[in-house]
Amino acid sequence: MTTISKIRYSRRNVLKTGGAALAAAAAFPAPMVWGQESKNITLRQFGTGVSNLNEVATKVKEDLGITLEMTALDTDSVTQRAATQPDSFDIADIEYFVAKKVWPTGNLQAMDASKIKNYDKIVGIFRNGKLTPESSIAQGTAPHTVGFVEGPAGTSFVDNESGWMTLIPTIYNADTLGIRPDLIGRPIESWTELLNPEFKGKASILDISSIGIMDMAMVCEAMGEIQYGDKGNMTKDEIDKTFAIFTEAKKNGQFRAFWKTFDESVNLMASGEVVIQSMWSPAITAVRSRGIDCVYQPLKEGYRSWGGGIGLSASLSGMELDAAYEYINWYLSGWVGGFLMRQGYYSAVPETSKDFMSENEWGYWFEGKESTGDITSPFGDKLAGAGEVRDGGSFYDRMGAVACWNSVMQENQYMVRKWNEFIAA
Amino acid sequence: MTKQFTAWIQAAPMALVLLAFLVAPIVMIAIVSFWGATEYSIYPAFQFDNYEFLFRSPVTYTVFFNTFKYAAITWAFTLVIGFTVAYFLAFEVRSLKWQIALFLLCTIPFWTSNIIRMISWIPFLGRNGLANSTLISWGVIDEPVEWLLFSDFSVILAFVHLYTLFMVVPIFNSMMRIDRSLIEAARDGGASAWQTLRHVIIPLCKPGIMIGTIFVTTLVMGDFITVRFMSGSQRANVGRLISNDISLLQYPSASATAVVLLVAVLIVIALLLRLVDIRKEL
């Protein structure tokens, strides 16, 4: 989702682990590992900065011998590359709603679920859409609706677990508004607060149309102004009404700025230019690690959620394809999951990640328990002290309260044009 | 005949480079602007949909108006500042050594990226930034001034900061070519300093002013990143319209906008060139 987080981490990483790994690689040629035939294989992966982390490439080289070449791009560029440059990658790490745009291009190939060892342990959200058997499915492009096709050469999505997957889920989270409790000084409980005149000139929303429109919809619905049939698939009329409300707010000076990149959102919040805004989880962490109070505020109307997954290029075959499956199985086997969950994301197979987290970490991040000691990120920053609880609570509290998923609507082109008008208004 | 042939050969490398890297891409953009697009692909066609949408949308007019507005205001400020700086360098500083030293000083900021130079305004102008806290401590204002950042003011400030040198250099160059005896003659003839400036220096600086003007207007009209950062994404110019379209895979629509922008810029330049015949003046 972001480019910057990757740059931040990777620089540090290059200095610490990266440099050391490079030195080690030079000193000890190719380690002997169980994936013998894959040791000389290079896979080119691209995706958003969220999960395209150098640590993963270093670790996969160590465990499997596969060289992973990572390219981190922003959300829009990821879509662009997946749709227009099929030969430039082997593995696409994209968001589920992007799959809806990219799949029809034929640039990706379906994956055989029977080759995925931990398939049965993948969270229900990505299989039948239900987190627990009782949960209801949220609006928008829910991952399971674009997760399966009818066969190896399938071109259209099916609504059952057909055994042929478009993407293997890797990382997901529930997003909400970030606030500065020290500058607001009262409880915030609803999405409507984003347009509360109290925060005139101190609010912000993200300038990525496909995600921003969902935040807008959450606000309009919470205000009781619009009843959406499906927030993830609005009618032209609903789109018009949503933009009318936000354009008026913009003209009244409600917004300080709009942000497009991760670091912009961090700076707006940390500098106090903005006290309430759409935000992503690691951005909250980044603000907090500067010693500034910042909360990822759970709201009564629920979360806007997103999920990412790995897709295979249509041109992958033979040994490269086998290596890609091996990489996917490794990805779901726990180390990456633990690495991501310690940053506040969720892994597709949480139970395998448990072995790679301490009991305190697992309790804090997954179970929503009070921490028993300091919680640090995988990069060594202290994120919470003893006795703190994660904003929003446990995995089931958070992912169970998802109101809608990031999505691509049928009226997307219309929406994008309206978005341009909104920005220029 | 052989002479003409040699001339063709001599011109060929440059012509080929321009053909391959300037003309061909523009032709390509013009062609694609008639194509159609779906969510994820573009398909060849010859349709006017993109232009039709562009000319029918009120956003287009707002955004083009903004683009011209930014260009005009930035031009006015860069011209006044640029001319003043160049005048000081050319006529007030007497020794060539100091002229060169001061001129180089002007270029020092260009050793850093212009994105950095632009972004460094943000903490300065912010709500709790240096400018506001200084003004408050002086007692000039009681509450932080909001319009300093993420406004037209900050966008134009950044443009002026980034592009004034493009005005200084050509004007300075023109001024250095002015024969000093002309100025002495004006003075001997009884002209005041103002009259000398008005009737001698400015007319002789016209080519420099015009070249600077072309630099500044084309740079400002084609920009999108400054507007995005300095307005906190709250304002739009044509460049941003194009960049939004590209990021959403709407290449044909982006091409159509680019073609219209190109035509607009060419018209502006054609008008400017009517005012001054640069070839003759150089």
User: What ipTM score was computed for the predicted complex, to two decimals?
Assistant: 0.79
- Above 90 in pLDDT, residue A6? no
- Above 90 in pLDDT, residue B261? yes
Mutate to test the interface with B, among A141, A206, A273, A414 (most CBs of B within 10 A): A273
Q: Per residue in A152-203, pLDDT tens?
A: 888 889 988 999 999 999 889 999 999 999 999 999 999 999 999 999 999 9
Kindly determine whether residue A424 and residue B62, on different chains, have CB atoms separated by under 8 Å: yes
A259 at interface of B, judged by CB pairs closer than 8 A: yes
Q: What pLDDT sits at residue A101?
A: 84
Tokens encoding B136: 């408050």
Q: Which residues contact A313 (CB under 8 A, 6 or more apart)?
A: A86, A87, A89, A90, A91, A92, A107, A108, A109
Q: What pLDDT sits at residue B39?
A: 67
- Above 80 in pLDDT, residue A334? yes
Q: Per residue in B217-246, pLDDT tens?
A: 999 999 999 999 999 988 889 999 898 888
Other beta carbons within 10 angstroms of residue A376's beta carbon come to 13
- For residue A82, what is the nearest residue in chain B, using CA coordinates? B40
Sign (positive or negative) of CA dihedral A264, B123, A421, B214: negative
In whole angstroms, give the CA distance from residue A357 to residue A360. Answer: 8
Domain definitions of chain B by residue range: 33-281
A274 at interface of B, judged by CB pairs closer than 8 A: no
- For residue B125, what is the nearest residue in chain A, using CA coordinates? A273
Q: Which residues contact A108 (CB under 8 A, 6 or more apart)?
A: A82, A92, A99, A102, A166, A311, A312, A313, A314
Torsions phi, psi of A291, nearest 5? 80, 20
Q: Per residue in B186-212, pLDDT tens?
A: 999 999 989 999 999 999 999 999 999
**B175 and B205 Cβ atoms separated by less than 8 Å:** yes
- Average pLDDT on B20-31 reads 96
Kindly determine whether residue A413 and residue B127, on different chains, have CB atoms separated by under 8 Å: no
Q: From the list B63, B122, B146, which residue is nearest A424 (CB)?
A: B63
Q: What pLDDT sits at residue A34?
A: 47
Give A-chain residues touching B129 at CB under 8 angstroms. 271
- Average pLDDT on A31-55 reads 72
β-bridge pairing A375-376 and A382-384: antiparallel
A421 at interface of B, judged by CB pairs closer than 8 A: yes
Distances (CA, A) of B80 to A279, B77, B154, B156: 43, 5, 19, 14
Tally C-beta pairs within 8 A across A and B.
85
> What is the share, in percent, of chain B residues with pLDDT greater than 90?
63
Domains and CATH numbers, chain A: 4-20+37-174+306-356 (3.40.190.10), 177-301+397-424 (3.40.190.10), 359-393 (no CATH)
CB burial string B242-265: b at 16+ within 10 A, e below: bbbbbbbbbbbbbbbbbbbbeeeb
> What is the share, in percent, of chain A residues with pLDDT greater than 70?
91
Q: Per residue in A283-315, pLDDT tens?
A: 888 898 888 999 999 999 999 999 999 999 999
- Above 90 in pLDDT, residue A407? no
Q: What pLDDT sits at residue A4?
A: 38
- Segment holding A295, helix H or strand E: strand A295-297
Tokens encoding B205: 């600086």
Helix, strand, or coil (residue B69): helix
A positions 44-83 inside 8 Å of B (CB): 76-77, 79-80, 83
- Above 70 in pLDDT, residue A28? no
Angle subtended by helix axes B238-247 and B58-87, to nearest 10: 120
Cα distance from B76 to chain A (closest Cα, Å)? 24
The average confidence (pLDDT) of chain B is: 90
Give B-chain residues touching A267 at CB under 8 angstroms. 122
Q: Whole-model pTM?
A: 0.80
Q: What pLDDT sits at residue A21?
A: 43
Kindly determine whether residue A260 and residue B127, on different chains, have CB atoms separated by under 8 Å: no
Q: What pLDDT sits at residue A133?
A: 84
Q: From the list A101, A104, A207, which residue is nearest B233 (CB)?
A: A207
Torsions phi, psi of A157, nearest 5? -75, 145
In whole angstroms, give the CA distance from residue B156 to residue B168. Answer: 18
Confidence category of residue A1, pLDDT binned at 50, 70, 90: very low
Q: What pLDDT sits at residue B267?
A: 94
Q: Which residues contact A11 (CB under 8 A, 6 or more apart)?
A: none
**A158 and A149 Cβ atoms separated by less than 8 Å:** yes
Kindly determine whether residue A84 and residue B249, on different chains, have CB atoms separated by under 8 Å: yes
Q: What pLDDT sits at residue A30?
A: 44
**B157 and B121 Cβ atoms separated by less than 8 Å:** yes
**Alpha-carbon Rg of chain A, whole angstroms?**
21
Tokens encoding A209: 């149309």
Q: Which residues contact B160 (CB under 8 A, 6 or more apart)?
A: B74, B77, B78, B81
Fold that domain B33-281 belongs to in CATH: MetI-like fold (1.10.3720)
Q: What pLDDT sits at residue A360?
A: 94
Other beta carbons within 10 angstroms of residue B10's beta carbon come to 10
What residues of chain B have any CB closer than 8 angstroms to a CB in chain A?
Answer: 39-41, 53, 57-59, 62-63, 66, 122-123, 126-129, 146, 149-150, 228, 231-236, 240-241, 244, 246-250
Q: Per residue in B61-77, pLDDT tens?
A: 999 999 999 999 999 99
Amino acid present at B120:
S
Angle subtended by helix axes A75-84 and B238-247, to nearest 10: 60
Give A-chain residues touching B228 at CB under 8 angstroms. 260
Q: What pLDDT sits at residue B281?
A: 62
In whole angstroms, give the CA distance from residue A316 to residue A314. Answer: 6
Q: From the list B63, B128, B248, which residue is nearest A271 (CB)?
A: B128
Kindly determine whether residue A79 and residue B241, on different chains, have CB atoms separated by under 8 Å: no
> What is the share, in percent, of chain B residues with pLDDT greater than 70?
98
Cα distance from B215 to chain A (closest Cα, Å)? 25
Kindly determine whether residue A424 and residue B236, on different chains, have CB atoms separated by under 8 Å: yes
Give A-chain residues touching B146 at CB under 8 angstroms. 201
Mutate to test the interface with B, among A204, A420, A421 (most CBs of B within 10 A): A420
Q: Per residue in B141-174, pLDDT tens?
A: 888 888 899 999 999 999 999 999 999 999 999 9
- Above 90 in pLDDT, residue A22? no
Q: What pLDDT sits at residue A425?
A: 79
According to DSSP, the residues that pair with A42 across neighbouring strands are: A67
Confidence category of residue A12, pLDDT binned at 50, 70, 90: very low
Kindly determine whether residue A257 and residue B57, on different chains, have CB atoms separated by under 8 Å: no
The average confidence (pLDDT) of chain A is: 86
Kindly determine whether residue B233 and residue A84, on different chains, have CB atoms separated by under 8 Å: no
Tokens encoding A336: 């990456």
Tokens encoding A260: 């497009």
- Average pLDDT on A240-249 reads 95
Cα distance from B248 to chain A (closest Cα, Å)? 7
Helix, strand, or coil (residue B43): strand
Q: What pLDDT sits at residue A37?
A: 52
Confidence category of residue A365, pLDDT binned at 50, 70, 90: very high
- For residue A98, what is the nearest residue in chain B, using CA coordinates? B40
- Average pLDDT on A114-130 reads 91
Kindly determine whether residue B244 and residue A419, on different chains, have CB atoms separated by under 8 Å: yes
Torsions phi, psi of A324, nearest 5? -65, -40
Angle subtended by helix axes B152-177 and B202-222, to nearest 10: 140
Q: Per residue in A68-114, pLDDT tens?
A: 998 888 777 888 888 888 889 999 999 998 888 889 888 999 999 99
Give me the helices (H) in A289-410, please.
318-331, 335-341, 350-353, 359-365, 395-399
Confidence category of residue A24, pLDDT binned at 50, 70, 90: very low
Helix, strand, or coil (residue B120): coil
